[in-house]
A and B are shown apart, each in its own frame.
Chain A
Amino acid sequence: MIVRDLWHPRTLLAAGAGAALLAAVACGGTAAPAPAQTGDTGGSSTGSSQPSAAATPTLDPFAGVQEPTPTANLAATNTPVPVPTAMAVDERPEWWIEGESKHYRGDFPLVATSNPGFWDVHYGGSMNTVLIPSGPRFNQLLEYNPVSPGEIIGDLAVSWESYEDGDEFGYIFNLHPDANFSDGQPVTADDVVFSINRITLGQVEEGVLRARTGFLNNFVKYGTASAIDDKTVKIPLRFPAAGFLPNLASDYMKIYPKHVAENLTQEQANKGVVQVEAVKAINAGTPTSLIGSGPWMLREWEKDVGYTFDRNPNYFKEGRPFFDGLRIFLIRDTARRISALQTGQVFGTYQPVTGSNRPEDMARLEEDSNGQVRAFILEASGIQAFFLNHDKPPFDDARVRRAFYLGLDRDLGVEKSILGFGQPGTFFAPGVVEDLEGLRATNPAYGDREAALTEARQLLADAGLADGFEITLNVVNSNPSLSSAEVVAPQMREDLNIDIVIEPTDLATMYVGLRDGVANFNSVGTGIILRDPGDIINQFYLQDVLRNPHNWQNDRVDELINLQNREVDPAARQAHLEELAGILHQGESHWLPYFWYSSGGALDYRIRNFYYPATVQLIKKWDHVWFDEDRAPLPAGVKGYQP
């Protein structure tokens, strides 16, 4: 029996029955002795929570699958490809027509985990509490193609082109002629200009928070976007930059109605107001909340219970979305969430999030539901890493940091901590800059363990730490952070005599410990928005950002960050990034990747046309999928969700 089986619901039920019988026996009752087999199961179950050398390390729910797997899908999405020649306005591909013919009359039920926080996507900083509840109400200028997530296509824009005018470089976007906000007002170039200015407002105004849209500041100077006419907008860039379009297509870069948003305070913009009331207030000339042009309009929100959207009947992508309503149930408890999926109370998870919907649970759900509920497992959706305080001993010595980098057994981490659902941690998303197989051949940290440990021990000895040292690990008390700590602590003790004391805390405490330098050694998993390397650079290697709290810096790294930012030739940019990765792989920076982990989710097999996005943060509108009640069950050999 492998470890995961011990947590199988049936095992739990058996363990419960066993516990009942054992209790009965223990209290001197008349119940018959518990069968030895049942008691054994309960005992093993208890012991399974600790990493064990004897535990079967890998779990491959898709072993032997010939059909396209999540990995195959992902491989195609490594490098976003802008598609500047968008389809004609009235052109609708076959899937669109088919989806419309399968329109679901009713509210489509999905499950999520968190209450909405802020309803202003420009402002807020969380996928779960900001983007998921609010994103479906809005459009961006561009979007990642929901049916081919490696491409960038027009959303509000029907076409775009780059321009050069002397020293000025930028893009001109043509807007969809029929795009309207849900109060009936047309989407105009002024709205786009207003939204771009709102996103970049922090450049000129103190106290403006743009947690996940601030990326655009790298490329666009506040106040430079302008309307050429009602439906044409020009956005000059600070410099030619390959990263601009991939960032602009992120689901966070929403276009707001100027006539509404400019009259709102930030507090009002953060509020979730149902559509009927929001429009009533707008019509009365006193807007109280945001509305959008997107496929969905907020019908109802009951805290701790869920929220519901109505389909926007005047959505400019005619015929979409393919349900009358979208109903999101909030279920925090994993057991209850799995039960809701298995019993058909919901048709899918709104989003894959590791820690909430663990890949192994989703794979098992697929088995238990006889293939009715299909697992979709998104690889490399987040990175588990260690933060070393390079300002304080022992990590103020670059040799100690490199020793740590070399000493980490990343394969063991993947195997034990995330049961094989991931891969050794590279600095950038897998396959984008570094080649793992190449690293295995050339870098002992990823390949030759003996060589890595020999060098690490020598480095520690050179740093005067030949006997190792003790250090406290400030780690988030949820998986995979905690499970990774449980794996790395004994491994480092055994290999380098480094005694790691695990101190689990909640997320907020962990970050404050990291930021304030209270803890010198920290660990937390982090999601990525884009697979573009710029995302990692922005999060971990700029100055004064949360995840580089003590401003680790290297002159050449800074140069390369600038160079790759400004480079439009993909091959030249790749060369800069590879050089950058080479420096980081010296293992002396403040941030050491451990592994990339996968995220799990599940969808009923009758949901059609959902394609694996490049990251969990993308493609959140739910306006391209439909429910095909007549779909035949998938053949027994086919594993995972199939569009």
Chain B
Amino acid sequence: MYQYLFRRLLLFVPTMLLATIMVFALFSIVPGDAAVFLLTGEDAGGRVTNDDFERLRSDLGLDRPVYIQYADWLWGVVQGDLGNSLYYGSPFGLELLERFARTFELAVLAIVMAFIAAVPLGILSAMKQDSGVDYASRVIALLGIAMPTFWIGVLVIYGLTYGFNWGPPLVYAHLWEAPWENLKLMLLPAAVVGFHDMAFTARVTRSAMLEVMREDYMRTARSKGLREWVVVSRHALKNALLPVITVSGYQFGRLLGGVIIVEQIFVVPGVGTFLIDGIRHRDFPVIQGVILMTAAVVLLLNLVIDMLYGILDPRIRYS
């Protein structure tokens, strides 16, 4: 078990390294750098000379060969320094910390909402296969999968605006300082994101339940005279949850990377907003840092899920 854990952790290093190299390579292929944005701005006016560019590029260290820039950044990472944001001039770690907490909260809320809605829906759908309830639940699930979250987000905003002349708060309040204000801002985007994830999870739950319910041990359980809810909850659900947890874990990792458009629509100052600004500003340390963080989170979550498998299913042993 520990050997397996160690091996998996060791594999993190080349995976993350590969991710950063790929991002860096892509980034260096595309022309343009932070100096251009800093000088021209979004409105692209003013007299800017080529010398101005070269000076600023030099100030930012962008005139060095690409591999030197990468090596410099990597050496910093090894020492625990993820570099400074080119746009803000401040340490990336500091910039990320607070934003990550907000995105983490959004992701937790979304995944919890999705899970709470999806599992009963999936079970119900499986139990009442091909009934009206099953069709309705499948329709809901398909809608959630088919409609992109940013589209649902815009519809929600417009619906609230034109239907109720109301908009969600514009100011982020910290969860521990003003919980109600915080939830007023976070619940809607969490519900929007959660709707999408709920749909997917509900479908996985349904198919897993259908598969499990055809197993011999289910027939045995029923023939023992157990009540249906005991059969479902104790025998079927426990076995059907494995793929559901895998899917939820994957979704949670994805959410932690930032729900870019939804964060923008609902004015949540999280990692997604940070990343999209980083891309617009050509802020290389920010993009690399966020990618590195996302890769680490996804890898870690995958590992946690794999470990959970062993707990949920005693037949699975790692060596």
Give CA–CA (A542, B132) in the complex, Å. Answer: 73
Which of B43, B55, B277, B280 has a CB less than 8 Å from the CB of A207? B55
Instruction: Report the minimum CB–CB distance from A87 to chain B (whole Å).
Output: 31
The stretch of B87-95, B110-118, B208-216, B308-316 in contact with A is B87-95
Residue of A nearest to B152 (CB): A16
Give CA–CA (A320, B52) in the complex, Å. Answer: 37
Q: Which of chain A's residues have a CB closer than 8 A to the CB of B159?
A: 13
Give CA–CA (A527, B42) in the complex, Å. Answer: 10
Tell me if A507 and B136 are in contact (CB < 8 A).
Answer: no
Instruction: Report the minimum CB–CB distance from B243 to chain A (whole Å).
Output: 21
Q: Which of chain A's residues have a CB closer than 8 A to the CB of B16?
A: none
Q: Which of chain A's residues have a CB closer than 8 A to the CB of B135?
A: 28-30
Give CA–CA (A141, B135) in the complex, Å. Answer: 72
The stretch of A142-150, A330-338, A430-438, A488-496 in contact with B is A330-338
Give CA–CA (A12, B162) in the complex, Å. Answer: 12
Does residue A348 face the partner (Cβ distance < 8 Å to B)?
no
Interface of chain B residues 107 through 146 with chain A (CB within 8 A): 132, 135-136, 138-139, 142-143, 146
Which of A20, A507, A542, A616 has a CB less than 8 Å from the CB of B40? A507
Q: Which of chain A's residues have a CB closer than 8 A to the CB of B273?
A: 304, 332
Does residue A526 face the partner (Cβ distance < 8 Å to B)?
yes
Tell me if B41 and A129 are in contact (CB < 8 A).
Answer: yes
Does residue A375 face the partner (Cβ distance < 8 Å to B)?
no
The answer to whether A333 and B48 touch (CB under 8 A), given A10-B162, A20-B147, A546-B53, is: no
Tell me if A339 and B46 are in contact (CB < 8 A).
Answer: no
The stretch of A89-97, A287-295, A392-400, A508-516 in contact with B is A508-516
Instruction: Report the minimum CB–CB distance from A302 to chain B (whole Å).
Output: 7
Does residue B167 face the partner (Cβ distance < 8 Å to A)?
yes
Per-residue contact bits, chain A 331-360, to B (CB 8 Å; 1 contact, 0 not): 111011011101101100000010000000
Residue of A nearest to B99 (CB): A304
Tell me if B157 and A339 are in contact (CB < 8 A).
Answer: yes
Give CA–CA (A353, B154) in the complex, Å. Answer: 21
Tell me if B154 and A546 are in contact (CB < 8 A).
Answer: no
Which of A127, A340, A542 has a CB less than 8 Å from the CB of B43? A127
Give CA–CA (A518, B157) in the complex, Å. Answer: 42
Tell me if A117 and B269 are in contact (CB < 8 A).
Answer: no
Does residue A305 face the partner (Cβ distance < 8 Å to B)?
yes
Instruction: Report the minimum CB–CB distance from B182 to chain A (whole Å).
Output: 13
The answer to whether A529 and B41 touch (CB under 8 A), given A28-B135, A29-B136, A512-B33, is: no
Instruction: Report the minimum CB–CB distance from A298 to chain B (whole Å).
Output: 16
Q: Which of chain B's residues have a CB closer than 8 A to the CB of A128?
A: 41-43
Does residue A422 face the partner (Cβ distance < 8 Å to B)?
no
Which of B36, B41, B89 has a CB less than 8 Å from the CB of A512? B36
Does residue A126 face the partner (Cβ distance < 8 Å to B)?
yes
Q: Which of chain A's residues have a CB closer than 8 A to the CB of B274?
A: 304
The answer to whether A336 and B33 touch (CB under 8 A), given A117-B38, A127-B41, A209-B56, is: no
Per-residue contact bits, chain A 119-138, to B (CB 8 Å; 1 contact, 0 not): 00000111111100000000
Does residue A471 face the partner (Cβ distance < 8 Å to B)?
no
Does residue B155 face the partner (Cβ distance < 8 Å to A)?
yes
Q: Which of chain B's residues have a CB closer than 8 A to the CB of A129?
A: 41-42
Does residue B79 face the partner (Cβ distance < 8 Å to A)?
no
Which of B48, B152, B267 has a CB less than 8 Å from the CB of A125? B48
Tell me if B55 and A508 are in contact (CB < 8 A).
Answer: no
Tell me if A12 and B154 are in contact (CB < 8 A).
Answer: yes
Tell me if A343 and B45 are in contact (CB < 8 A).
Answer: no
Instruction: Report the minimum CB–CB distance from A285 to chain B (whole Å).
Output: 24
Using C-beta atoms within 8 Å of the partner chain, give the interface range for chain B: 35 or more
The answer to whether A27 and B138 touch (CB under 8 A), given A9-B161, A507-B40, A527-B43, is: yes
Interface of chain A residues 96 through 131 with chain B (CB within 8 A): 113-115, 117-118, 124-130
Which of B31, B38, B42, B167 has a CB less than 8 Å from the CB of A343? B167
Q: Which of chain B's residues have a CB closer than 8 A to the CB of A513?
A: 31
Tell me if A509 and B46 are in contact (CB < 8 A).
Answer: no
The answer to whether A13 and B162 touch (CB under 8 A), given A511-B36, A545-B49, is: yes
Residue of A nearest to B160 (CB): A339
Q: Which of chain B's residues have a CB closer than 8 A to the CB of A27?
A: 138-139, 142
Tell me if B151 and A16 are in contact (CB < 8 A).
Answer: yes
The stretch of A59-67, A211-219, A603-611 in contact with B is A211-219
Give CA–CA (A127, B46) in the complex, Å. Answer: 9
Q: Which of chain A's residues have a CB closer than 8 A to the CB of B39?
A: 125-126, 209, 211, 546
Instruction: Report the minimum CB–CB distance from A509 to chain B (whole Å).
Output: 4
Tell me if B50 and A542 are in contact (CB < 8 A).
Answer: no
Give CA–CA (A30, B132) in the complex, Å. Answer: 8
Q: Which of chain A's residues have a CB closer than 8 A to the CB of B161?
A: 9, 338-339, 342-343
Q: Which of chain A's residues have a CB closer than 8 A to the CB of B30?
A: 509
Q: A125-B39, A340-B170 given. 20 additional CB < 8 A pairs?
A: A10-B162, A20-B147, A30-B135, A30-B139, A115-B87, A125-B46, A126-B41, A209-B56, A212-B46, A271-B89, A302-B172, A305-B269, A331-B267, A339-B158, A342-B161, A508-B282, A512-B31, A512-B33, A542-B47, A616-B43
Q: Which residues of A contact B (CB under 8 A)?
A: 9-10, 12-13, 16, 19-20, 23-24, 26-31, 113-115, 117-118, 124-130, 206-207, 209, 211-212, 214-215, 267, 270-271, 302-306, 329-333, 335-336, 338-340, 342-343, 345-346, 353, 368, 382, 476, 505-513, 515-516, 518, 524-529, 538-539, 542, 544-547, 549, 616-617
Q: Which residues of B contact A (CB under 8 A)?
A: 30-34, 36-53, 55-56, 58-59, 87-89, 95, 99, 132, 135-136, 138-139, 142-143, 146-147, 151-152, 154-155, 157-162, 165-167, 170-172, 261, 264-267, 269, 273-274, 277, 280, 282
Task: Identify the 7 closest CB pairs spanning chains A and B, nearest first.
Answer: A126-B41, A508-B32, A304-B269, A527-B45, A509-B32, A29-B139, A512-B31
